[in-house]
Amino acid sequence: MATKVKTYTANLGKTLRETNKCKGRLLYYFPPKETPAPEEKGQVAEDGWIGWHNDSGFMTGLTPDMFVDDTDGSVMENPDPEGAGLWIVDRDSSAVRVRVPPDCMAIQVGECTQVVTGGEFVATPHCVRGVRPQFVPAGRKVARVACPCFVDTHPTFKLRIPEGFSADEMLAKGVSSKVPPLAERWEPGQSFGDFLGATFRRYYDWALGKSGPAAKKARTA
Q: Which is nearer to Fe ion, 55 or 111 (CB)?
A: 55
Distance CA 56, CA 155 (A): 12
CB of 150 to Fe ion, least distance (A): 9
CB of 55 to Fe ion, least distance (A): 4
Q: Which is nearer to Fe ion, 162 or 199 (CB)?
A: 199
55 touches Fe ion (CB under 5 A): yes
Site string for Fe ion, 98-117 (x = CB under 5 A): --------------------
Q: Which is nearer to Fe ion, 55 or 80 (CB)?
A: 55
SS3 of residue 166 by DSSP: coil
Q: What CA dihedral angle connects 212, 179, 185 and 204, to 10 degrees?
A: 20
Which of the stretches 47-55, 91-99, 190-198, 209-217 binds Fe ion when contact is defined by CB under 5 A? 47-55
Task: Tell me, by CB under 5 A, how many residues bind Fe ion.
Answer: 1
DSSP string, 67-115: EEETTT--EE--S-TTTSEEEEE-TTS-EEE----TT--EEEE-HHHHH
CB of 32 to Fe ion, least distance (A): 19
CB of 165 to Fe ion, least distance (A): 25
Give how far Cα 149 sits from Cα of 16, 43, 55, 99, 106, Å: 13, 30, 11, 17, 10
Q: Which residues bind Fe ion (CB under 5 A)?
A: 55
